[in-house]
Amino acid sequence: MPEIKINLKEKFIPKYEDLVYDVLDHKHTHYKLYGGRGSTKSSCISEVIPLLLIENPDIHCAVFRKVGNTLKNSVYGQIQWGIDQLDLWQFFSFKVNPMEITYNPTKQKIMFFGLDDPGKIKSVKLPFGYIGITWFEEEDQFNGEEEIRKVLQSTMRGGQKFWDFRSFNPPISASNWANKDILQIRDDTLCVKSSYLDVPRDWLGEAFFDEADWLKEINPRAYTHEYLGEAIGDGGNVFENVKVQPI
């Protein structure tokens, strides 16, 4: 086995340092990362997953999006990015048919699935170990907690340790199921909210901050939702940007 040393403080923003150590120490099972655009929550998860594989040689990972044809240009590319950021590219191999990433020293796999074909996860056969890591990207796009729970009933078996990651930008309506889900208190769950304001400027670039500042000036409500990740609607309004004036 190769000896791999990584300076975590160089790879994650300070907002996520405690989260990363919590994950690596397996203090929780479910991790829900949510917030505004540019908060690097997906980047954080895409770096943590390879680290977990390396530390736990008997587990594999399954990554989910609601629609299968979004996988290649989202989570598959995102985990490639995470592996590159960790300077671990030489230890992994990549395939798109079937879509998977393999940690070469142990042959552990990161597999990718769209839940528009939920039967695929039930037919997965592993040569060793078990699926110890799941990641549901854009959680709010799934058909509620029940759909995710059915997947976990298939994956969270046959092992001792499991990590379940969720990530999403909160929908505008506070009544959306994903927004309500993070309010559920469980001892085995850690929720972390973040925004672009937690990220060093040079990580995102000045243009990103300029666009955010412009939207904040011309449409504070949209800015609060899109960039700060706040659910600012009650779900009952057909038109959100209405001003009542006497005629």
Q: Which residues are catalytically annotated?
A: 138
Burial status of residue 190 (CB atoms within 10 A of its CB: 0-12, 13-18, 19 or more)? middle
Distance CA 83, CA 4 (A): 13
Order the strands of the 130-137 sheet from edge to edge: 92-96, 99-103, 108-114, 59-65, 130-137, 163-168, 30-35, 189-194
Using alpha carbons, select from 189, 207, 205, 217 the residue that is nearest to residue 34: 189
**Rounded CA separation 1/217 (Å):** 54
- Please calculate the CA angle 122-123-127 and round it to the nearest 5 degrees: 115
Q: Which amino acid is at 82?
A: G
d(CA 195, CA 229): 7
Neighbour tally for 20: CB within 10 Å: 17
Beta strand 99-103 with 92-96 is antiparallel
**CA distance linking residue 41 with residue 73, whole number of Å:** 17
